[in-house]
Amino acid sequence: MSQTRFADVRRFESIDSTNRYLLDEARAGAPEGVVAVADHQTAGRGRLGRSWEAPSGANLLLSVLLRPAIGPGERHLTTTTVALAALDAIGVVDPRAVTDVSIKWPNDLVESSGRKLAGVLAESDLVSAAAADGLPPPVVVGIGINVNWPATDADLPPELAGLAVSLCQMIGAPVDREALLAALLGALEPRVGDLDSVEGRARLAGDMASHCSTIGTRVRVDLPDGSFEGTATAISPEGHLVVTTGETTRTVAAGDVVHLRPGS
Ligand code: BT5
C-alpha cells in the first residue's frame, strides 16, 4: 500500500478500540492516512454507546484517520466513503458475493436477507482539531467486517442470532483477511480522494444511492426526539437520507433507520 496515503498501517494483537487509538493519535497531530488494524478489540464500539463484537483473529477490525477538507455538514460522506470502499473490496475478493450486499443507511453493509455483514463508525473530535495546528480537523472512520466469524449461525451470541452474517458464510469458504485488507486500502485511496472535490462528493453520494437498499423502502427513522415513518427516496449531496412522509419531505443527517416491510 506504499503507493497510497494509507502506508502507515499499525497492527495490534489486542487493543480496546482502533477508533479510540486513532482519535488519540489525531489529538497528538497524526496526519491523514494512519491505519489501525486489530486482531481483537476489548471495547470495540458501535454508534450511540453500542458495542461491536468479534472474536480474536476472525474478522477485519480497522480504523483510518482522515482529515478531509469538508465542512461539518458534509462529514457524513466519510462514512459513505468507507462503506463504498468496503463494497469495492468485497467485490475484489469475491465478485459474486458482492452482488448480494448493499448499504443500509447510514452505516451498515447488509446481505439481502437484511443480516448485517459490516458496520461503520465515524467519530470526530474538535479538541484534536484545535490541538493539531494547521491540519484539517480529523475524522476517524472505523469498520468491522464479519469475515470468518460467524462460521455458522450457531456461533452467534443470542443477541445477534439472525442479525449477523459473515463473508465466509456467504461464500461458503474461509476468506483471507489480508487480501480483504489490501483490497480495502486500495479501494479507499480513490474514494477518499473523491472527498476533495465537488464532483467527487457528487460521485460518492450517487454511488451510495445506487448501492443503498434503504432507497425505495418504507422506513422508521428513530431520532433522539422521537420517531417518524416514511419512504426513503434519495441520498442528498451531503450523504443524508431523504424521506417523504406523504405530507412533507425530511432530510435525516443522523439517526437509526429500521426497514419496514410493506404494510408493517
Ligand atoms: C456499527 O454501530 O455498526 C459500527 C461498528 C464499527 C466497528 C468498528 S471495528 C473497528 C473500529 N473500532 C471500533 O471500536 N469500532 C469500529 P451500530 O450501527 O451502532 O451497530 C452496533 C450494533 O450492531 C450492536 O448493538 C449489535 O446489535 C450489532 N453488532 C455488534 N457486533 C456485530 C457483528 N459482529 N456483526 C453484526 N452486528 C453486530
Average pLDDT of the chain to the nearest whole number: 93
What digits encode the pLDDT tens for the residues 108-143?
999 999 999 999 999 997 665 555 567 889 999 999
Asked if 213 and 104 touch (Cβ cutoff 8 Å), the reply is yes
Distance 144 CA to ligand 1 centre (A): 7
What does the pLDDT average to over 102-108?
96
Q: Indicate whether residue 255 lines ligand 1 (CB < 6 A).
A: no
What digits encode the pLDDT tens for the residues 51-84?
999 999 999 999 999 999 998 899 999 999 999 9
CATH code for 218-259? 2.30.30
Distance CA 264, CA 260 (A): 6
* pLDDT value of position 263: 44
Task: DSSP letter for 140, please.
Answer: E
* Ranges of each domain in the chain: 9-211, 218-259
Q: Indicate whether residue 79 lines ligand 1 (CB < 6 A).
A: no
- Give 37-82 as a 3 state SS string: EECCECCCECHHHCECCCCCCCCEEEEEEECCCCCHHHCHHHHHHH
What digits encode the pLDDT tens for the residues 138-176?
999 999 999 999 999 999 999 999 999 999 999 999 999
Residue range 9-211 forms a domain whose CATH class is alpha beta
* pLDDT value of position 134: 77
Choosing from 14, 52, 120, 222 the residue with most ligand 1 atoms within 8 A of its CB, the one to mutate for a pocket test is 52
Distance CA 136, CA 220 (A): 35
Asked if 191 and 205 touch (Cβ cutoff 8 Å), the reply is no
Distance 18 CA to ligand 1 centre (A): 13
* pLDDT value of position 214: 97
Pairing of β 108-111 and β 226-235 = unpaired
Would you mind telling me the total number of residues written for the chain in this entry? 264
Q: Indicate whether residue 106 lines ligand 1 (CB < 6 A).
A: no
Q: How many C-alpha atoms does 62 have within 13 Å on its Cβ side?
A: 29
